[in-house]
């Protein structure tokens, strides 16, 4: 008998299970709207032209080797990634109170921040500090904080299902009523899964309450540039909170905006009160990294650092990102127009009002089941679809299938 005979079978990760089911499906018109990755209008992954160019530069640079990086990561990657988030002219950077840790993707950056906060925020090893995540949110948010030892992960109001938009009143109410020093995980832009972001005025209201109530700001920035096509516009909320004087964390992912999904390129930007605090924070983060992944891989970080630090390559990257963002915006406009032309019951304005890779369609679980089983269109049970899965070849089929699901299934 095995010593592991009592290990229970874990449930599969929903989004990867969906992709597996899609792969196994033999239906010729099947469509995958599940996994969060960019696709071209041919339905293929896209290696950014600028990434191909930089990979060639790296291959032919004889000065490079495979020695260990510093524990906190490639210095030029960390500093340039933080500048992308906070802006070149950020006073916090000029005051030497911004630092960073290169992490394994955005998930690794969240993990690093969560591990540090559990150890050193709101007392030492305080597992009782409430951590608030939006309702709904990316499912890994709950798990990462719970896994770091936080015992009280709670939802805050965010999505108004009836309006198909932001529940600002509920959000502000939760900020007012939560315990002081609670941690709030905020989506910097292109909220996953709803695609609904606060306006700049709403962000100002949110920041005012968070400052007054002494709440900790932890931004998750997975889509900078990818949401609107503008790096500056997508970083507005993060930069505004920094300008308000918050000490805060920002987890950054370069999976989407560089197309480097499997290179696991992430960064945790730390905005501290002053240089002395920053030094002590990073010294403890170094200890956490040492027992977690010891030190990070170089390839993806080099690609990002070389690109951002060359004006010519940086401009080419911004064009590549805009290409992706514009295709998503086009698919949104076309899907809405087709549903309206079909006179599909309900309102569909939210499809173009939302932003980024995902749209929260408003389809209920039974309608989603109909889409998957009867129409072979794979989407998350929440009704979230990846807009990049739509193409000029399949969008009519998808729109007609949504129409059918809404009219036939209540």
157 has catalytic annotation: no
Q: Which of 174, 197, 220, 234 is catalytic?
A: 220
- What phi and psi values does residue 60 have, to the nearest 5 degrees? -95, 5
Specify which residues 166 forms β-bridges with.
159
Q: Which of 195, 247, 262 is closest to 223 using CA atoms? A: 195
Q: Which residue has the tokens 């004087």?
A: 245
CA distances (Å), 217 to each of 145, 251, 272, 289, in order?
14, 11, 12, 22
What are the angstrom distances between the C-alpha of 83 and each of 5, 142, 244? Answer: 50, 28, 18
Whether 256 is catalytic is yes
Q: Which residues contact 360 (CB under 8 A, 6 or more apart)?
A: 159, 164, 193, 194, 195, 196, 350, 354, 382, 383, 384
88 is catalytic: no
**H or E stretch at 267:** strand 265-271
For residues 133 and 192, what is the distance between their CA atoms, to the nearest angstrom? 11
Catalytic residue, chosen from 46, 83, 111, 138, is 138
Task: Mention every residue, 6+ apart, whose C-beta is less than 8 A from residue 316.
Answer: 49, 50, 53, 307
Return the structure tokens found at 37.
């990755």
Q: Which of 295, 311, 238 is nearest to 75 (CA)?
A: 295
Determine the Cα–Cα distance for residues 269 and 111; give it in Å rounded to an integer: 13
Residue 241 to residue 248: CA distance in whole angstroms: 9
**Of 385, 310, 328, 255, nearest to 50 (Cα)?**
310
Distance (Å, whole) CA 251 – CA 360 = 23
CA dist 316 and 307 (Å) reads 9
Per annotation, catalytic residue among 30, 157, 256, 336: 256
Q: Which residues are catalytic?
A: 138, 220, 256
């Amino acid at each position: 008998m095995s010593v592991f005979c009592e290990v229970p079978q874990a449930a599969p990760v929903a989004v990867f299970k969906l992709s597996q089911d899609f792969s196994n499906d033999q239906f010729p018109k099947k469509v995958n709207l599940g996994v969060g990755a960019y696709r071209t209008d041919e339905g293929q992954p896209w290696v950014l032209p600028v990434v191909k160019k930089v990979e060639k530069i790296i291959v032919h640079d004889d000065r490079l080797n495979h020695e260990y990086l510093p524990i906190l990561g490639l210095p030029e990657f960390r500093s340039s990634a933080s500048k992308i988030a906070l802006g070149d002219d950020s006073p916090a950077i000029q005051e030497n109170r911004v630092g960073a840790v290169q992490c394994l993707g955005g998930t690794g950056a969240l993990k690093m921040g969560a591990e540090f906060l559990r150890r050193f925020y709101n007392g030492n090893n305080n597992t009782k500090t409430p951590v608030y995540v939006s309702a709904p949110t990316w499912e890994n948010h709950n798990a990462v904080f719970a896994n770091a030892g936080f015992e009280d992960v709670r939802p805050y109001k965010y999505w108004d299902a009836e309006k198909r938009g932001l529940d600002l009143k509920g959000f502000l109410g939760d900020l007012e009523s939560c315990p002081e020093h609670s941690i709030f995980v905020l989506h910097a832009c292109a909220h996953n899964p709803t695609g609904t972001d606060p306006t700049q005025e709403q962000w100002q209201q949110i920041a005012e309450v968070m400052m007054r109530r002494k709440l900790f700001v932890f931004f998750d920035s997975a889509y900078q540039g990818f949401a609107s096509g503008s790096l500056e516009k997508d970083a507005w909320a993060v930069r505004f909170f920094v300008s308000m004087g918050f000490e805060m964390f920002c987890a950054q992912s370069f999976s989407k905006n560089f197309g480097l999904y499997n290179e696991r390129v992430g960064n945790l930007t730390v905005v501290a009160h002053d240089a002395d605090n920053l030094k002590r924070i990073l010294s403890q983060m170094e200890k956490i990294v040492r027992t977690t992944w010891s030190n990070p891989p170089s390839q993806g970080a080099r690609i990002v650092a070389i690109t951002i630090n060359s004006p010519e390559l940086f401009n080419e990257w911004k064009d590549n990102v805009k290409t992706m963002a514009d295709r998503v915006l086009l698919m949104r406009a076309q899907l809405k127009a087709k549903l309206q032309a079909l006179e599909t019951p309900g309102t569909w304005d939210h499809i173009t009002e939302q932003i980024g890779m995902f749209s929260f369609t408003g389809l209920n679980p039974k309608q989603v089941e109909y889409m998957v089983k009867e129409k072979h269109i794979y989407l998350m049970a929440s009704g979230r679809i990846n807009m990049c899965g739509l193409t000029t070849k399949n969008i009519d089929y998808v729109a007609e299938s949504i129409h059918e699901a809404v009219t036939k299934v209540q």
